[in-house]
Amino acid sequence: MEYFQYEIDPACQKKRLDVFLTEVQSEISRSYVQKLIESGQATVNGVPARSSYKLKIGDRVEMAIPEPSPLEVTPEDIPLDIVYEDSSIVVVDKPAGMVVHPAPGHSGGTLVNALLYHYSKLPRLDAPSGARPSAAGICGVERPGIVHRLDKDTSGLIAVAKTDAAQQSLSRQFKDRDIKKVYLALALGVVKNSSGTIDAPIARHKVQRKKMAPAREGGRPAETRYEVIRRFEWFSYLRLYPKTGRTHQIRVHLASIGHPILGDALYGGNAGPKRPRMSRQALHAHKLELIHPRTGEWMAFESPLPVDMAEFMERHGKNDAL
């Protein structure tokens, strides 16, 4: 059991209890926080409170989070767009809206659930006819084969390890920055410079705990290079090359230069009431290059611009900016 205690300051007053606890405990969902509150695991000034309680300055909030029980991940028949697969790795083109990995309060509909179903139905490509793959690298909840992640509303390529050896190799490549990634994005505003580099350390936001933010002190180094593909009247089409892989890195970096990703409400990407909105953050993992864990071959994968981003440009980006 983990115990947490918070003293409410002016920045957090009038917030709902469940909203506040979700912000400060960003690794668990709001629905899970609400269950903890309902079961008496959260108190205000020593008294159990409701999720809707509005916090006041000086309130003492305490919450106990039970040790998580092992997640039983159920295979789910969710269609997957598999770009490449062999005995060591599988590369998936993840749709926007799909969470990568199960977590307390969000155990279904994830990429891992879909992969489990895929491996229960399909023979391994290089195995003898009728043989079934060992999904140990993917099935194990503790080590599910996921070596990098994409945000729920970010679409595009993600590589998954199918063996322990492959997982160790890919993890090492990410750590050593050998893996190359390219993203495409629609950003609010007209980006003036044709290219540039954003070099700004990133840390957890001091107040809004679900957010990351540029940090002058204590942040982790983060660097993103960008190129302008095309400028429109009020937004820009960008190609991005993240050198590091920090949480929300591209989203934070673009917002820090005044050009948040369209549709990214968390970092200011809504263009205002008179502008059309993207239904999700307009960010796509376009290219992925890596060294094959078993053969040592350099491999490159590519996913085209998704339909929703292409259609948005077609409908709302007809007037190119100078």
Q: Are 157 and 92 in contact (CB under 8 A)?
A: yes
Q: Are 3 and 62 in contact (CB under 8 A)?
A: yes
Q: Which of 268, 289, 286, 279 is nearest to 315 (CA)?
A: 279
CA dihedral 77, 81, 85, 88 (to 10 degrees): -70
Q: Is 290 helix (H, G, I), strand (E, B) or coil?
A: strand
Which of these is catalytic: 93, 151, 153, 264? 151
Tokens of 212: 């990351």
Q: Is 117 helix (H, G, I), strand (E, B) or coil?
A: helix
> Radius of gyration (Cα) for the chain, nearest Å?
22
Q: Are 80 and 115 in contact (CB under 8 A)?
A: yes
Give dist(CA 239, CA 231) in Å, integer.
12
129 alpha carbon, distance to own chain's centre: 37
Residue 308 bears catalytic tag: no
CA dihedral 280, 282, 285, 287 (to 10 degrees): 150
Phi, psi of 167 (to 5 degrees): -65, -45
The distance in angstroms from the start CA to the end CA of the chain is: 58
Phi, psi of 257 (to 5 degrees): -105, 15
Tokens of 109: 């509909």
- Matching residue, tokens 């990098």: 148
Q: Which residues are catalytic?
A: 151
